[in-house]
């Protein structure tokens, strides 16, 4: 779990996760095109995310595809969010979203 928090404690890595959330299954090259980061930096961040299991990879021929893996984040939520709190939190989050987009 330490690895997950360490991996998430960096804005660039969170941005990479956002990119994968928007479009899952991107190659390193695809991820680099719209980012103000060097290929080496992106590659290093992806390795840290993969190490923390926040990114899962699949080889398709010679291409390595990157997928956002939400399972560890889910495990964190399960640990601290109780059985009955979830629906209340969902209501709060919906309310926040609704009031922020108005």
- Of 62, 59, 60, 78, the C-alpha closest to 70 is 78
* 69 is a contact residue toward another protein (CB under 8 A): yes
Radius of gyration of the chain from its Cα atoms, rounded to whole angstroms: 16
* 34 is a contact residue toward another protein (CB under 8 A): no
* 28 is a contact residue toward another protein (CB under 8 A): no
* 86 is a contact residue toward another protein (CB under 8 A): yes
**Residue 51 token pair:** 């190490």
* 91 is a contact residue toward another protein (CB under 8 A): no
> Judged by CB, which is closer to another protein: 14, or 67?
67
Name which position in 25, 30, 32, 48 contacts another protein (CB under 8 A). 25
């Amino acid at each position: 779990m330490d690895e997950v928090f360490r991996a998430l404690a960096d804005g660039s890595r969170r941005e990479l996760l956002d990119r994968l959330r928007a479009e899952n299954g991107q190659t390193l090259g695809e991820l680099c095109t719209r980012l103000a980061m060097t290929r080496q930096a992106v590659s290093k961040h992806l390795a840290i995310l993969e190490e923390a299991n926040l990114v899962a990879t699949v080889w398709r021929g010679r291409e390595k595809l990157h997928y956002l893996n939400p399972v560890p984040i889910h495990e964190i939520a399960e640990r601290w969010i109780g059985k009955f709190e979830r629906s209340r939190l969902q209501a709060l989050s919906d309310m926040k979203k609704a009031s922020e987009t108005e």
